[in-house]
Amino acid sequence: MSGICRNRVVVVTGAGQGLGREHALALAAEGARIVVNDMGESAKAVAEEITASGGTAVADLGDISDWGYAEDLIGRAVGEFGTLDALVNNAGINRDRMLVSMTEAEWDLVLKVDLKGHMAPLRHAAAYWRERSKQGDPVDARVVNTSSGAGLMGSVGQGNYGAAKAGIAALTVIAAAELARYGVTVNAVAPSARTPMTEAVEAFADKMRVPESGFDRMHPGNISPLVVWLASADSGAVTGRVFEAEGGTIGVADGWQHGTQRVRDRRWSPAEIGPAVHGMLGEAPAPAEVYGA
């Protein structure tokens, strides 16, 4: 099978439905050999769909937030196909609640599945690639994480989910810096698409409806070409980035740049802080003498 991911071995977590399913199908269509992870039998259905269309896939059922299972999943990919070229961390859940109503269990579960569920397979995949690099084997590997606008911009009622997704964005930047020496790039996508998760959010209901005609901007498959490219060798030196994607729109999130500054050559006084902050926010002109030359 031809394609930009021809013969690359890719693990896709949470691939039994929604975005993960679309990513797995799109990667397979571009020639990748897929390990389809999910908690339930839907993973087997996706693997069977890929093989029925002439692709190569195996299903692996388990909880990606379990440290031991995550290690076994990476081992399954290497044992089944002889190597691992890319990890697409997609698995996630939400338990939306206003902060004053959120339970400890709702907080812990979302952080466990979404954030730890990214870290666990990332850690074990990274260990595999590091060992290969130390042995002198060439490594050209990819990690594609899944953040969210809730993590980048905030979202009312999603304190747990947004915190996990913000953590994923930070983890992406840190992993990119740490793993570059081993030949691994790490990026993330912040998708907006129709999935079982987003359809269940009342505030998103109208936006997620299937249009009667024309381009379906919210179809989850619209996100997958970006994921495929990031998982391919073609993405080269692109690393440490978070890409926002919706419909036919892709963009690079600009969340880690230093913004406007005011600098003095001495310690600020509390009275000077207010005018300086309001000036940086563009709310009012700030006196020049506050900032100095």
Q: Which pLDDT belongs to residue 290?
A: 43
Instruction: Please report the pLDDT score of residue 292 as a whole number.
Output: 42
On whether residue 68 sits in a domain, the answer given is yes
User: Higher pLDDT residue, 273 or 47?
Assistant: 47
114 plus 232 within the same structural domain: yes
List, by residue number, the catalytic residues. Answer: 148, 161, 165
- In one-letter notation, the amino acid at residue 290 is V
Average pLDDT of the chain to the nearest whole number = 91
Does residue 115 share a domain with residue 90?
yes
- Asked which of 36-45, 212-221, 222-231 is least confident by mean pLDDT, the reply is 212-221
**Domains of the chain: total:** 2
pLDDT single digits (tens) 226-248: 999 999 999 998 999 999 999 99
- 262 and 247 within one domain: no
**Element containing residue 131 per DSSP (H, E):** helix 117-134
Same domain, 145 and 266: no
97 domain-assigned: yes
Least confident of 10-19, 188-197, 202-211: 202-211
**Stronger pLDDT, 293 or 69, i.e. the higher one:** 69
Cα(260)–Cα(281) distance, integer angstroms: 8
Q: Tell me whether residue 2 is in a domain.
A: no
**Domain range enclosing 271:** 258-293
Q: Please compute the mean of the pLDDT values over residues 191-197 and round it to a whole number.
A: 81
Shared domain check, 217 and 83 = yes
Domain check: are 100 and 199 in the same one? yes
Residues 93 and 125 in one domain: yes
Q: What is the pLDDT of residues 143-184, one digit of tens each?
A: 999 999 998 998 999 999 999 999 999 999 999 999 999 999
Q: Are 23 and 227 in contact (CB under 8 A)?
A: yes
CA distances from 1 to 27, 29, 88, 170, 187 (A): 11, 8, 21, 36, 26
226 and 268 part of one domain = no
| CATH number, domain with residue 98 | 3.40.50.720
Say which range, 77-91, 149-163, 196-210, has the weakest mean pLDDT: 196-210
Same domain for 267 and 225: no
Mind listing the pLDDT tens digit for each residue in 46-74? 999 999 999 999 999 999 999 999 999 99
Using 50, 70 and 90 to split pLDDT, how confident is the model at 223?
A: very high
Note whether 248 and 263 are same-domain residues. no
Q: Report the candidate in 184, 78, 83, 81 with the shortest Cα–Cα distance to residue 141.
A: 184
Predicted TM-score (pTM) above 0.95:
no
Asked whether residue 3 is domain-assigned, the answer is no
Q: Residue 60 corresponds to which amino acid?
A: D
Residue 175 lies in a domain: yes
Asked if residue 286 and residue 240 are part of one domain, the reply reads: no
Asked if 263 and 248 sit in the same domain, the reply is: no
Residue 1 lies in a domain: no
Is residue 4 a part of any domain in this protein?
no
Nearest of 117, 147, 139, 119 to residue 37 by alpha carbon: 117
DSSP E strand boundaries for the chain: 9-12, 33-38, 56-61, 86-88, 141-146, 184-192, 242-246, 249-252
Q: Per the domain annotation, does 270 fall within a domain?
A: yes
